A = this chain, B = another copy of it.
Amino acid sequence: MKDLKDYIEKNNKIIINELFDLLKLKSISADPKYKNQVLKTAELISKILSQAGAENIEICPTPGYPIIYADKIIDKKLPTVLVYGHYDVQPPDPLNLWDSDPFDPVIKKTKLHPNGAIFARGACDDKGQLFMQLKAFEYMLKTNNLPCNVKFMIEGEEEVGSNSLEEFVFNNKSKLKADKILISDTGILSNDIPTVTIGLRGLSYVEVEVTGPNRDLHSGIYGGAVANPINILSNMISSLHDENKKIKIPGFYDDVIELSDTERKEIMKIPFDINEYKSHLDIEEIEGESGFTTLERNSVRPTLDVNGIWGGYTGEGAKTVIPSKAYAKISMRLVPNQEHKKITQIFSNYFKSIAPKSVKVNVKEHHGGMPYISPTDDKGYIAASLAIKKTFGIDPIPLRTGGSIPIVALFEKQLNIKSILLGFGLDSDAIHSPNEHFGLFNFFKGLETIPWFFKYYADLMKNK
């Protein structure tokens, strides 16, 4: 693969222009009004796959958004890598905090990205990283460097819980048969300290509704005499943590496997500067579960956060109302051995149990996913490690991170295949936030690393 760097350099502009076309489509799966844009994105992905040389391309309908399947089987005796990615993106709001249009990508230099970064919703999560995979495949195929079979499964509902994926996987087990799943939807610690994600948190996401009186009331006439759903909801949220920031839901920690001293010592080795962290976020003090470090709190400990809250009058000026209803979106990040369905159930039971009789409470399950952990003696991990050593010049650190890619656990359960999380984003890329971006260095380094992963993986499998 001597020509790899040349190939990337020569095609640099074409590749970026193609990625921009993909980023311009508003594939916001959470908001039904963008349905057409999501469907158009699926079509564009299948076109890109076709141009890259993939075969058997199908835009498979689901009850939600379609899943794209494609493959390139060069020799049935060779190992098969199944590449997973998603073409949908998070909603861009709050829009007013973006410095440029989230769906009109631009390249700008930043302190961490002196060579420029692409600013757009989905630049990193996951269109940019998925596109790296598609272009790496194209390079390998066109330059005769593809060392094994490849399958693609690209969905459009990852940001809303991958609702259609489980059934699709269940119904297509033989079609999806593979030796390894490869996913670029994670990050590295920094451009000097490459990492490979080996652990992910699970997720339970719910929406709660607290109903007081049957209509909005005048706070002068009723204030003090009837329960105010906003005050009650605040009390109830407040009752979810104790003063040590431990989650108070009975049974919440029951299935958590406590870390060994060795594991904690490994985490301590990860380079981390608390002052830089605080200054980067412009906060005076961090906050979290007592007895654990920041790196433990954001990766190997379960958490509970309110992701949204609303109720009453939220417009300009003042309105003296006691609203009939107040709402919150609440998510819990789970760690290995916690079962998301069980956690959703005990949350719901507890939340209802702490409601006073003056209100009615409804808990709606949004979506969930299981936590995941992968061993470092796996051939996929070794191949990833070698590939990174080749392109970055140093060995990666294996890392358990705090995010959730629930489908990784799903793949293991349904297909019995471990996944390799070979992503190239940075924490500072602001995925899910305004001004999401993806460094050009990271994009092209990823594009360079992926073919080496395939090579080393095929080599390792030969020697098995």
List the interface of chain A (C-beta within 8 A of B).
Answer: 29-32, 90-91, 93-94, 97, 159-161, 201, 203, 205, 207, 212-228, 230-231, 233-235, 237-241, 281-289, 294, 297-298, 301-303, 305-323, 326-329, 331, 333, 356-360, 366-367, 401-404, 427, 430-435
Contacts and interface: CB of A to CB of B under 8 A. Distances in A.
Contacts of A220: 201, 203, 333, 401-404
Copies in the complex: 2
Contact of A224 (B207, B219, B281, B297): B297
Contact of A402 (B160, B223, B314): B223
* In the complex, the 6 A-B pairs of residues with the closest C-beta atoms, listed nearest first: A220-B403, A224-B303, A30-B317, A308-B312, A238-B238, A234-B237
Contacts of A161: 318
B214 A281 contact: yes
A248 to B, nearest CB: 13
A160 to B, nearest CB: 5
B318 A225 contact: no
B221 A318 contact: no
A203 B360 CA distance: 29
A284 B211 CA distance: 11
Contacts of A323: 307-308
A320 to B, nearest CB: 6
A410 B159 CA distance: 54
Contact of A307 (B32, B282, B318, B367): B318
Given A283-B359, A285-B357, A309-B312, 15 more contacts: A30-B317, A203-B220, A216-B432, A216-B433, A217-B433, A223-B298, A224-B301, A225-B288, A227-B285, A228-B306, A287-B358, A309-B311, A309-B314, A310-B310, A320-B331
A225 B313 contact: no
A223 to B, nearest CB: 4
B215 A433 contact: yes
A203 B227 CA distance: 19
Contacts of A433: 215-218, 321
11 contacts: A30-B315, A213-B282, A215-B435, A224-B298, A226-B288, A227-B286, A234-B234, A308-B312, A309-B326, A312-B329, A314-B327
Given A97-B216, A285-B357, A315 B225 contact: no
A320 B286 contact: no
A356 B244 CA distance: 13
Contact of A30 (B218, B233, B316): B316
B224 A306 contact: no
A359 B331 CA distance: 21
B309 A322 contact: no
Contact of A358 (B283, B310, B403): B283
A239 B313 CA distance: 21
A292 to B, nearest CB: 8
A237 B233 CA distance: 10
A224 to B, nearest CB: 3
B306 A234 contact: yes
B318 A230 contact: no
Nearest to A302: B224
A12 to B, nearest CB: 29
A398 to B, nearest CB: 17
A237 B226 contact: no
Contacts of A207: 318
A215 B402 contact: no
A306 B201 contact: no
Given A307-B322, A432-B319, A298 B225 contact: yes
